[in-house]
Amino acid sequence: MRIHDISQPLGTRTATWPGDRAVELSWTMRQDAGDSVNVAALSTSVHAGTHIDAFLHVMREGATAADMPLDAYVGRCIVVDAVGVERVTADAIDGIDVGRAQRILFRTRAVIDETQFPKRFAHIDVALARELAAAGVRLVGTDAPSIDPQDSKTLDAHHAFAAGGVAILENVVLSHVLPGEYLLVALPLRLAEADGSPVRAVLLEGVTTEDPGPGPQ
């Protein structure tokens, strides 16, 4: 089994969405100050680095990070190469059985620097979002900061996925991962009131990718 870490390092140098809260880390206790242990305190947007968007992000009565179905974040996953496009359309999934895939990650950037917010990034076409939701896909992810354009006010792709019960994973790192099938593990923190959560996302290669299906939460 090979483990591919597809998470951005989360720290004070991590670039966040323009206008969102920066990542801040302070120390409550330090051994060099005479304390018996080191204890850090973290202040961050829940959308910093690699993260999930809960349905609450775009729906007033949507599920919080704690209430999202966990089985969406664990199971068979297809990595799709879409580097170079400005808009990810149905052409990207030509020949892929998306119903079987269950989870799809789009690789749109050849190089990722987590300390710099990208000047431009690819977004997911709303028609494709609706097609994936209709096909029963459980999760869609991207290596971009958002599945919608940066200047979007309507967030059409977000709403299409939320309406279809499709989980969203953003800011993954796929520059070192080949297209193909993997086992995804990207569990959010059980944040009871938040609209998203940072995750430590990994792809497992060389293990069975048979999807376990819905289970107890």
Q: Which residues are catalytic?
A: 57
Please tell me the distance from the alpha carbon of residue 115 to that of residue 185, in angstroms, as a whole number: 24
Contact 137, 100 (CB under 8 A): no
Q: What is the DSSP string of the chain?
A: -EEEE-PPP-STT----TTSPPPEEEEEE-GGGT-SS-EEEEE--TTSSSEEE-GGGT-TT---GGGS-GGGGEEEEEEEE-TT-SEE-GGGGTT--HHHH-EEEEE--S---TTS--SS--EE-HHHHHHHHHTT--EEEESSS-SS-TT-SS-HHHHHHHHTT-EEEES---TT--SEEEEEE-PBP--TT-SEEEB--EEEESS------S---
Backbone angles phi, psi at 90, to 5 degrees: -60, -20
